[in-house]
Amino acid sequence: MDEPERLGEVEVRFIPSYRATKHYVCPGCNRTIPAGTGHYAVVPVEAPDLRRHWHRGCWDRRQRSMG
């Protein structure tokens, strides 16, 4: 989901590289976030099972373009 705010409030958690043990696909660019790469987990408060993992740059650029 590339617009998680549609689900209401979201919590943004930074996942440091040492805790990033799996790879994910970033919804901002549809590219892989390799294991061992620090990134954000964006978690809708009302639907935590819909959390998505974002590259830091993709999330930050998205936030700037919305503000």
CA 64 to chain centre: 15
What DSSP letter does each residue of 25-57 carry, written as one string?
E-TTT--EE-TT--EEEEEETT-GGG-EEE-HH
pLDDT for position 58: 94
- pLDDT single digits (tens) 9-30: 899 999 999 999 999 999 999 9
* Token reading at 19: 């805790």
pLDDT given for residue 14 in this prediction = 98
Residues near 32 by beta carbon (within 8 Å), at least 6 away in sequence: 23, 24, 25, 26
